[in-house]
Structures are given as structure tokens and as C-alpha cells.
Structure 1
Amino acid sequence: MLRLLKYPTLFIGLLLTSFISNASEESQPLTIKKDAPSTYTVVKGDTLWDISALYLDSPWLWPRLWQVNPEIENPHLIYPGDRLSLIWKNGQPVLSRKSMKKLSPKIRVAEKQPIPTVLEELVVPYLESDRLLSEQKLKQSSKVLGSSNGRQYLTQQEQLYISGVQSQANWGIYRQMETFTRGEHVVVALKRIATAERVDVNDKMTSLSVTHQVQEILVNDIALPIVEGEIAELSTTFHPTPSSQGSFADILGTIEGTNYVGENQVVVLNRGSSDDLAQGNMFELYQQGADIDTSLDKELEKGAQFPDTHIGNLMIIRPYQHFSLALITESKQPVALDTKVIAPQPVAGAQ
């Protein structure tokens, strides 16, 4: 039975052509686990990441194992009931799929969703609500001015006012959390605490009616319009791929400001789309090796260290220009600011 990993639900299209285009991935040998099953029938509750890990030590290399079947209407998605078979072609492992029985060439027995990668609720907030905003955009954003009764803490029952004459219908109210710096680039992490609808405009102010609230709204909280399709370039259908060989990043912290995080939590990295990062890019996490007391061995040079220890993996879920939000998909121990974040290392040997 598969061990169901608590990752976010990302419906993953197994796009073989885009995966093969990454030369650094192709250089990695594809190693099948010794106990990998020759056949497996997908059941409800499985995730793509789980099935990948069932066959591969490096699950992000899954598309190289996957055999697209031209007889299947949509060969990029896997559904409950599909049967996977491990075969060998030209000395290379290939995983093919036999679809569940169809009523017709275009209609399945049941309308089912393709299996997810991980649990959606862990990722969606960072795609739709919580975000990073540059200092410049933050200064230009509307602020919560308060309510007619003059109270500093506002509830859902009160009509609130934000600065400026605004025409957008739907709004998010955000709390400023942590600030992150990368050279001259500075961003502020924002956490959405409420949503609201535009009611009226009144002398350089706009009134809003709160529609949903998770905590009290404060004067000077940030108000940002919710624009339909504003993150259209982001998707929940990307697939995990290794980041470019030799690439690395630093962990700057978390939106909540915690110093240590673990599996299924999100961190801020000092790399982004300007560094060619995209959704789904994978990194490995390493704990730096401690210094060695070289007085115990004259053969060791001063400053020698023990080898770094692999402690987990993370996936880019939302890249910004100079920063990214990344989900820790595996963690054997707490991840801290000094944890090394590097591209997946080539796997030695192949079957």
C-alpha cells in the first residue's frame, strides 16, 4: 500500500516533451527501485508524487519513466482505476498505462478527477491569497482608514473605509508580516485576513463591506483589489522538475516569521523568475557538515568539515521576479535559515 504523503494537491500534467528539453535532467541516470511493482492499479487517494516515489528514488524524474499512450484520449493524466505496467524498451525502464474501461472512445465509466500530486489546501493560499509585494507597490496600495465609529479594531459587521476612489468590486484585506531583502530588492510578505466588496465612494475614500474575515482588521492594513485571472500565469497543473544543475538558493524565512519549519510548510527563497525559476522546480535540502577538530588528524586541512547531510526536498510553488515561495515536500529534520538549498544531485548508477 502506498504511504500517502501530505503534500498539496497539484494536478500534474506529465508533459514529457517539456521535461526532456531540460538537458541537466537527461544527464541523470534513471534508477528504478528494487522493490518497484511490475504492475500497479491506481486507487482513489493516491497521489502522483506517491506513485513516483514508489518507482523512483528521485520522483521528479517521473516524466522520463512515463510512456505516453496514443490510444488514450488524454495521455498526460492518471485516473483512479488505471493500471500501470513497468516494462523495458531498448534497455530503458518505461511505465505505461492501461486506461479503465470506457463506455465509448470519449466517455469514461465515471467522471473522475485525475489523481493529484499533493493536498491542495497547502498550496492554494499562496497562489490565491498570501503573497509577496515590493516596497514600491506597497507604498502605492490602498490602506484601511477605519470605520465611522473610529475604532481601531474592525469586525465583519462594520463598514470600513479605504484610501482612494476605487472602482474595483472585490477586495482583499492584508496584514503586513515579514520583510525580505535581496540586495537592492525588498519585498513584504502579506497575509490575507479578510475579503470585502465595494459599497460606495465618499470624498476620496471608498467604503467596503466585509464578506469574510479570519481575524480583526486594523487601521493601516493593506487593501488590494482581487482581479479575476490575475494569476492566470500560475497553475495547479505543473509538474515537478529538477532545477538547473548547479543552481542554488538561500532560505530567507517564512511569511509568519518562524525560524524553523518542517514538511508541508512554505519558505521564502532569494531566487525567482529572473533566475529562470518556474513552478515545479525542485531543490534538495542539506544540513551543512560541522567543523572537524583538525588537531586530531594531521592529514586534515584547517577548516575541514564533515560531509553535508541530505535532509529533504522543496518545490517552487510561486515564483516572483527576485524571490519565490517554496513548499517543503520532505523534511527529515527542522529546516532553518542556514539549510543549504541546491539543485538535485546526479544519482550514481542506473539499472
Structure 2
Amino acid sequence: PWQWPKVWSYNAQITNPHWIYPGDLVRLLPKGFLAAVPTADPGLEPDADPGARPTTDVVTPQRRLDVAVRQVAFIDKKHLDSSMFVVGAVEDKELLSTGDDIYVSYPEKQVPKVGDRYSIYAEDSRVEHGGKVHGSYVRVLGELQITSVKQEKKAQARITGANSEIERGARVGPLMTQFKSVPPVRNEVDVQGTIVAMLTAQQLIGQGEVVFIDLGKKSGIKPGNRFFVVRRGDAFDPKRDPGEQVGQDDRSYPVRALGEVVVIQVGDSISVGLVDRVSEEMGVGDLVMMRKQ
């Protein structure tokens, strides 16, 4: 109990230690304390001499990280633009739920098959970075299974599970609802990207958080690759809150690592990652860097 002044000193974002609530991110160690992450220049500077690259083996995750998505998720723009829709129901109901038989419309070149399972979701807010739409946060409403498909007719489906009431107009698509860590894979490219979204509504990112990075298969990213989350600049600024330093990139400073992200799913232009280790709070907009091994 006598350690609280020291812990409080590590958390400048906490103005009153009596006002800490469930979900708040609290640092229990000083900034810069991160096991197995070098305290000197970690060799992530893109301008470094390629011949001086470290030849260490791929770091193996120290534990499995599993995250289940129940109410909030992220979907990339490609799947958002090609989503199907709930357009009607067999019974005279306005609000639909588990066990209800419904009708689903679908794109002409994306005909579902009987037995296919999909998520039902509603779009919340779009994720934009650098003037480009990368996808959208969505609310997971439930799941369905296709029961009948006839040519030039709406598909019929049954709602197999519901988190909340489902209405006509809800989107339907292959939404991933379970994220799991994967075996490590050696990095094959040198790339730099940005964290463009996170799974929860928290402002700061901590260990075990699911994040989305604006790099995918087109950039040579594979599941099992690892990114460092980095910033460049003075880590202490008494005039700014920790969250205001997100994306700090003063090229007159060497790189410093805030943590690591394990890639668990890769799309064409978006990757999903699990934050494995953290030494300092991170946020949407922070840079990520991968070095070829």
C-alpha cells in the first residue's frame, strides 16, 4: 500500500489517484522498462547501414493471446463495400432476434451458399488516415446461417445468435470475431506504417489490445511477423498529455521502441495485430516499423 506514490508518478494522465475506473490504463513500471527490448538504439532507424542489421532470431511470444470479439469490431473497406444486407423477415416483426428466419440481399458476383455462416453488424464510424478510408468500426449484432439460395431471389437465412435487436438494413459479412496469436515468422521486408485503428474505444493502447495497421499482403506482411511501435522525439513534455505525443516523428532524434505487435491476420492493405509487450502507452496514429531478419 505504500507504493502508490511511486506508481502515481509513472502515470501523468491520472490527476487524482482516487478517481481510477475499470478500463483505465495504469502503468506499474517506469517508462522505458520493457523486457527483451534494447534500451539503446534498437536498430529500427530506416536510414541505418543495412550491413549493420542485427541477426538475432525471431522472438517467440512468451504467452498465447486470445481476444474474443462480442460487440465491437473493425472491417476493412473492401469487405465493407461488398457487404450483404438484411432486407426482410418471414414473420411480421420489426425487431429480429435468435431463431428468426430472414431474407438477405447480396451482390450479383457474391452469391452465398447454403450452410455458410456470417456475422450481422451495423457500421459505426469510418476509419480514415492520410486522407484515405481504411475501413470502419462496427457493432456486432449477431450471426446467421444461410438456409436457402435460389437464382435471382433473395437468400433466406436463420439468425443463430444475437447480441442485440436486429433490424432491416443491418449489414451481413464475413466478420472475424476471434483473434488468436500465431507462431512467429521471420520478417522478410523493411517497412514503416501506422496504427490506424484499435478494437476498443480506449484512447491509449495497452498489452493484449487488438490494433489495425495500414500495411498488408501488398507490402509483404505475413501472419507471425512482428512490428516495433516507435516514436522519435523527447519523451517528456510537461505541457502535453501522454496521448498528445502519439505519432511523434522528429527525425532529428533516434528511434525509441514503445512496444511490440504480433501480426495475426493479413488483408490486402490492412493487418490485424495483437500488442504483445508495452513499455509506454501507445495510440492510434503511432508509427510501426519492421526490419528484415
Q: TM-score range by the shorter chain?
A: 0.5 to 0.7
Counterpart secondary structure, 2:66 = helix
Q: 3-state SS of the aligned residue for 1:138?
A: helix
Instruction: Give the secondary structure class of the aligned counterpart of 2:218.
Output: helix
1:118 maps to 63
In the aligned structure 1, how far is the partner of 2:51 from the partner of 2:144? Answer: 45
Aligned-pair distance for 1:163? 1.9
Does the 8 Å CA contact 1:174/1:190 hold for their aligned counterparts?
Answer: no
2:278 is the counterpart of 1:278 = no
Q: Distance in 2 between matches of 1:236 and 1:117?
A: 11
Cα gap change, 1:281/1:304 in structure 2, threshold over 3 Å: closer, same or farther? closer
TM-superposed CA distance for 1:280, in Å, is: 1.1
Amino acid at match of 2:54: Q
2:100 aligns with 158
User: 1: CA distance between counterparts of 2:161 and 2:207?
Assistant: 29
Relative to structure 1, the CA distance from residue 291 to residue 236 in structure 2 (aligned partners, 3 Å threshold; closer, same or farther) is closer
Distance change in 2, residues 1:239/1:254 (3 Å):
same
2:120 counterpart (153, 171, 174): 174
Which residue of structure 1 lines up, in the alignment, with residue 92 of structure 2?
A: 149
| Rounded Cα–Cα distance in structure 1 between residues aligned with 2:182 and 2:225 | 13
Taking the aligned partners of 1:277 and 1:161, their CA distance within structure 2 comes to 38
| Structure 1: distance between partners of 2:226 and 2:73 | 21
Q: TM-score, normalised by structure 2?
A: 0.59
Residue 196 of structure 2 corresponds to 252
Map of 1:264 onto structure 2: 208
Q: How far 1:292 sits from its partner (Å)?
A: 9.5
CA distance in 1, matches of 2:187, 2:136: 28
1:191 Cα deviation after fit: 5.7
Aligned equivalents of 1:28, 1:281: Cα separation in 2: 16
State the shift of 1:310 in Å: 2.2
Instruction: Give the aligned partner of residue 58 of structure 2.
Output: 60
Rounded Cα–Cα distance in structure 1 between residues aligned with 2:268 and 2:292: 25
Instruction: Kindly indicate whether the alpha-carbon contact (under 8 Å) linking 1:191 and 1:255 is maintained by their aligned counterparts in 2.
Output: no
The aligned counterpart of 2:165 is: 216
Q: Is the 8 A contact 2:64 2:181 kept in 1?
A: no
Give distance in 1, aligned partners of 2:112 and 2:124. Answer: 25
Cα distance between partner residues in 1 of 2:269 and 2:257: 26
- Contact 1:291–1:305 (CA<8 Å) still a contact in 2? no
What residue number does 1:81 align with? Answer: none
Rate the CA distance shift 1:191–1:117 in 2: closer, same or farther, 3 A: farther
Q: Which runs of 5+ in 1 are unaligned?
A: 1-23, 31-58, 63-115, 294-302, 347-351
Letter of the 1:145 counterpart: V
Shift of 1:274: 0.5
Q: 2:284 — aligned with what? A: 337
**Contact 2:149-2:156 within 8 A present in 1 as well:** yes
1:239 aligns with 2:187: no
**Shift in Å at residue 218 of structure 1?**
3.2
Higher RCO structure (Cα 8 Å, ≥6 apart): 2
User: Tell me, what secondary structure is at the counterpart of 2:283?
Assistant: coil
Distance 2:226 2:51 in 1: 11
1:290 aligns with 2:234: yes
- Tell me the secondary structure at the aligned position of residue 276 of structure 2: strand
Cα separation, 2, equivalents of 1:337 and 1:244: 23
The AA in structure 2 aligned to 1:216 is: E
Secondary structure of the corresponding residue to residue 227 of structure 2: strand
SS class of match (1:274): helix
Structure 2: which 5+ residue stretches go unaligned? Answer: 1-49, 238-249
Indicate the residue corresponding to 1:132 in structure 2: 75
The structure with the greater share of residues assigned to helix is 1
Number of residue equivalences: 221
